[in-house]
Chains A and B, each alone.
Chain A
Amino acid sequence: MSRHELFRESWNEVVVRATSPNGCVHLTMQGDRDVRFSFDDAWFHRTTLTDFTDQLTRTFRLALVQRTQTYNRHREMVTGHVTTPIDGSRNPHLQTFVDKRDSLVVEGASADGRVSITAVGLRRFVVTLDPDLWSAGDRGAVERGLEEAGNALLRDQFAQMYELKQAGH
């Protein structure tokens, strides 16, 4: 098994955690899949939809930073090679890749379509919840919907990035 394969296999066991700035949204992600949410119950029932989605999108951004740092550290630990953010200035091909990556639009939705997440370059996130789902106040249903949408978003992200890699920029 090559070092990269060892890394890839062991990465599946690594859990990344992120918490929203207000401490009420918790996100875990294992091996770039299996996204899970949990919300502070009291906060969930008194917050507005706007505040809720705002805390969610902030959590996504924090999770992404956390995920990248953990991914790179784990790769260094397993393979011995230091990984740093891609430096597009090294050649025009890479810059094209970076530019396309930063403008990539990916999305994911829950199975019933009532929750969707859209991201541009994994920097700007938009979370859309069906008004009926929100007004029902069923925390478990919202968590499940977001988990399904989150997992779908990750799948779309990897699929589109692979397509971008395959296209040779």
Chain B
Amino acid sequence: MTTPQDLATLQDQLMARYDSGSWGSGFPEDPSQFGSCFNDFTDVPDPADFGDYTTALLETLKKLAPGGFDTSTSDDSGQPVTANGNSVLDMVSTAGIELDDWTGQASDGFFTWSQSWKTGISNQFAAVSVLRQLLHAEAAIWTAALDDLKNLGEAAYEALEAADDQFDTGAGDITTTLKVVGAVVAVAAAVPTAGASLSILTAVGAGVTVASTGMDLYAGAQTDSQKFATCCPRDVLADLMDGVSKVRTAVRDAEQKIAEQLDTNNGVIDGAWSEFCQPPPTLTTVHRDHIGAYEGLGTWGGEG
């Protein structure tokens, strides 16, 4: 996994290799670009930092799981993760049933509330899953982008060496594959809904092909490449900057898809907040002095 720091080091090496070469008249207009070609990528999200967040979110999912995980949930390396439904959550429903024989207004309301309470939790579970998948998609984009840039830098370095080599004719183009450029094609994994009512909550259509829900881009999405001339540094630099530009465009397009997905999900949640987070039952607003009265728990009707 390439880090932004790796790119900073690589562009220093490129600059040093250019400075040590013997180039005749084939030098670029602004050779300093060899040493700054990756500047814009030296403080971008570091793929290595995503794991702490996505692992914590997996724990959140396990705690919230209303019905367990289906097979579409994976860890950061794409391995399926299974989990049983969290039975603790059923205690709310159970408590509601136990109060069913009480006659008060608040106990009636609590019963009704308790029987649908888990739907809100299911929606929250789905939203956490969406958040985690979109973070995976982000990580996948940056993993691919930084790897691509590293490959570009290494290919440029080799092309410079070939250009500086008296026994290389410079008649071959070095080709490197760009993964992230092919990233904007398909869908992320489905969201485990587990009873969620807001089924529109989704990461599907994020426009980023990820391997399962892991952090790597789906390998089949590789669709572009960058050639490097090996005859003079001016052409090497032109090809390098062309490749960097391709990566920049691909990242923007891919992140735009994620941004659209986030807007959709945020809109769904805002528009249906009471389904996402059910309002508390009236039981919680009954005054302490009236809790046992008719407006509160009432009397037990079980004596028949």
Contact = CB atoms under 8 A, between A and B. Distances in A.
A2 B161 CA distance: 9
B234 A93 contact: yes
A166 interface: yes
B238 A169 contact: no
B227 A81 contact: no
Interface stretch (B163-171, B207-215, B252-260, B296-304): B163-171
B6 interface: no
B42 interface: no
Interface in B72-91: none
A168 B175 CA distance: 21
Interface in B160-213: 161-163, 165-176
Contacts of B155: 81
B234 A81 contact: no
B172 A90 contact: no
A90 B230 CA distance: 13
Given A5-B161, A87-B227, A167-B26, A81 B167 contact: no
A90 B235 CA distance: 10
A168 B25 contact: yes
A103 interface: no
Contacts of B154: 3, 81
Contacts of B161: 2, 4-5
Nearest to B22: A166
A24 interface: no
A79 interface: yes
B27 interface: yes
B224 to A, nearest CB: 14
Contacts of A8: 165, 167-168
A75 B172 contact: yes
Given A81-B155, A165-B163, A167-B25, A93 B235 contact: yes
Given A4-B165, A5-B161, A8-B165, A168 B173 contact: no
B13 to A, nearest CB: 10
A140 B252 CA distance: 67
B171 A85 contact: yes
Interface size for chain A: under 10, 10 to 19, 20 to 34, or 35 or more residues?
A: 35 or more
A144 interface: no
Interface string A137-169: 000000000000000000001110110111111
B167 A94 contact: no
B162 A86 contact: no
B26 A83 contact: no
A101 B176 contact: no
B166 A162 contact: yes
A146 B27 CA distance: 38
Contacts of B227: 84, 87, 90
A42 interface: no
B229 interface: yes
From A4, A85, A164, name the one whose CB has the most chain B CB atoms within 10 angstroms. A4
A101 B232 CA distance: 14
Nearest to A159: B166
B23 A4 contact: no
Interface string B1-33: 000000000000000000000111111000000
22 contacts: A2-B157, A4-B157, A5-B161, A8-B167, A71-B172, A72-B172, A79-B158, A82-B174, A82-B175, A84-B172, A84-B175, A90-B227, A90-B239, A93-B234, A94-B235, A101-B171, A161-B169, A161-B170, A164-B231, A165-B163, A166-B23, A168-B232
Given A3-B154, A81-B155, 10 more contacts: A4-B165, A5-B161, A72-B172, A93-B238, A97-B170, A97-B232, A101-B171, A158-B167, A168-B23, A169-B232
